[in-house]
Amino acid sequence: MTGTRLWTMLLVGCLTAVAGNDVFDYYSFCQEWPMTECEDAAASHDCQVPRNLTGWIIHGLWPDTLSGPDPAFCNDSYPFNDQEIEPLVPRLTVEWPNMYLASVWDNFWAHEWDKHGTCAMEGSPYIENEFDYFLTGLKLRYVYKVGQMLLNAGIHPSETATYSLAEVTAAVVSEVGVLPEVRCAWDADRHAQLLYQVRICLTPSYVPIDCPAAAGSGVQYTEACSEDGILYPVRVHAK
């Protein structure tokens, strides 16, 4: 049994299964490669990868639906309050960081809470407040270590080697047992697609499931990866 599956069992074992709720059908837990994030954002943001970042980071824990619009901004009576997550800030700045230099330091967390966290709270018995939401994301990152999954499969950052979508997908499937959603970003300077995000989908009770977009649901998205030639960049190109 892999370490990822063991930790999944431990996490899920602490919870009581939930059949579903009226707000969302599943979570999309999105992690991203910070080098690609800053490469992709360079045209519109002054983005900088902090020196202490060496691995994949959290973009968000998003409640999603199988049909219809995904929930967003579910409770405007509970705005973001940075004091509630003060004990988590040392971890959040490394594992769930804001890399846009022009924005207020906690602006990214405020956006994630207001748009997604409030909906998770409305639909989940395990998330009762802002602290719970961000702590859950941090716990999930500890369980689903995307960078380590890729490394275990021989996939590592490189400015020359490229990988196939099948190889990246198989690296996650071999440890989690479900299909992830893999997204890429196009880099015109390199004339290459860059590995950008890996999303692991979970039931409201945190049981891994095949991501609908990866399981032939017909869902289309703009950051789809081509089958071959995926670069996992070591650094951000100077603009």
Q: Which two tokens stand for residue 16?
A: 């009581």
Q: Which of 112, 130, 175, 181 is catalytic?
A: 112
DSSP secondary structure, 20-40, as one string: --SS-SEEEEEEE-HHHHHHH
pLDDT in tens, 116-163: 999 999 999 899 999 999 999 999 999 999 999 999 999 999 999 999
The DSSP symbol for 31 reads E
pLDDT in tens, 35-64: 999 988 877 788 888 888 879 999 999 999
Q: Which of 37, 116, 130, 175 is catalytic?
A: 116
Q: Is 175 a catalytic residue?
A: no
From 202, 79, 62, select the one nearest 119 (Cα to Cα): 62
pLDDT at 15: 41
pLDDT at 223: 74
Beta carbons of 192 and 231 less than 8 angstroms apart = yes
Element (H, E) at 6: helix 3-13
Give the pTM: 0.88
Beta carbons of 65 and 71 less than 8 angstroms apart = yes
pLDDT at 12: 46
Q: Which of 32, 39, 59, 95 is catalytic?
A: 59
pLDDT in tens, 68-105: 899 999 999 999 999 999 999 999 999 999 999 888 98
Q: Is 111 a catalytic residue?
A: no
Beta carbons of 157 and 35 less than 8 angstroms apart = yes
Element (H, E) at 136: helix 130-143
Element (H, E) at 181: strand 181-187
pLDDT in tens, 164-221: 999 999 999 999 999 999 999 998 888 899 999 999 999 999 999 999 976 554 444 4
pLDDT at 20: 52
- Residues 6 or more apart in contact with residue 108 via CB below 8 angstroms: 96, 97, 98, 100
201-234 burial, b at 16+ Cβ within 10 Å, e below that, comes to bbbbbbbbbbbbbbeeeeeeeeeebeeeebbbbe
Q: Is 116 a catalytic residue?
A: yes
